[in-house]
Copies of this chain bind each other. A is one copy, B any other.
């Protein structure tokens, strides 16, 4: 999975963050999801040893972070500004969930800069800050306890942005070749014959046994090598029942 270019156009803006550890943890969250543009508006303490410690392998984002005196400075050059909100606000803007926000952000970010703005740990964004946003986004949290840690909220949004950006990317192809249909049918025939021989399946009253076993293995999606193993087991069963010793290599 190559880095989707749209993620380069996403800026995370943290306003008046109280705990420098949260800035570091947010930087780490961003980098794990392929984001790199971080702006800090009046952080209480920055740079700070706690920020560096919590950033782990993402200290490059801290080094590159722009520290701004005002929110408009941090938003310079952005075409879409999305404010994060933990609750419904009076006089709300459009309020969407994190997934919908990511969809809108990535769509714009294919060609223009987008900012996601996070408020303080205690009270979120102020009304003066909110008014500079075009859209509000919230994470659909537990109404009984909706207080995500700041870096955890950044992680969720960054994750949604990455998932949206990767949407078309596919999971890696299967590692092991699947068995051919003919080979699987050969295994079922061998299995049925063995089950009759050991007295588990009565051919005069087979009931639903073979269909049930077929259903189980169909769900697994048998691989070529697995069919060989299973047929090896059946052979050993028959040999053992006939009192023939196992081959010398076992």
Measured between beta carbons, the chain B residues less than 8 angstroms from A225 are: 212
Q: Is the CB of B29 within 8 A of A148?
A: yes
Query: Which residues, 179 to 232 on A, are CB-close (under 8 Å) to B?
Result: 195, 197-202, 205, 209, 212-213, 216-217, 219-223, 225-226, 229, 232
> Does A107 have its Cβ within 8 Å of any Cβ on chain B?
no
The CA-CA distance from A128 to B33 in the complex, in Å, is: 29
Measured between beta carbons, the chain B residues less than 8 angstroms from A48 are: none
Residues 101-130 of chain A, each 1 if its beta carbon lies under 8 Å from chain B, else 0: 000000000000000000000000000000
The CA-CA distance from A222 to B220 in the complex, in Å, is: 9
Measured between beta carbons, the chain B residues less than 8 angstroms from A171 are: 95-97
Q: Is the CB of B32 within 8 A of A152?
A: yes
> Does A99 have its Cβ within 8 Å of any Cβ on chain B?
yes
| Stoichiometry (number of copies) | 2
Residues 128-142 of chain A, each 1 if its beta carbon lies under 8 Å from chain B, else 0: 000000000001111
Q: Is the CB of B92 within 8 A of A200?
A: no
> Does A159 have its Cβ within 8 Å of any Cβ on chain B?
yes
> Does A236 have its Cβ within 8 Å of any Cβ on chain B?
yes
> Does A172 have its Cβ within 8 Å of any Cβ on chain B?
yes
List the one stretch of A37-45, A64-72, A74-82, A240-248 in contact with chain B: A240-248
The CA-CA distance from A99 to B3 in the complex, in Å, is: 19
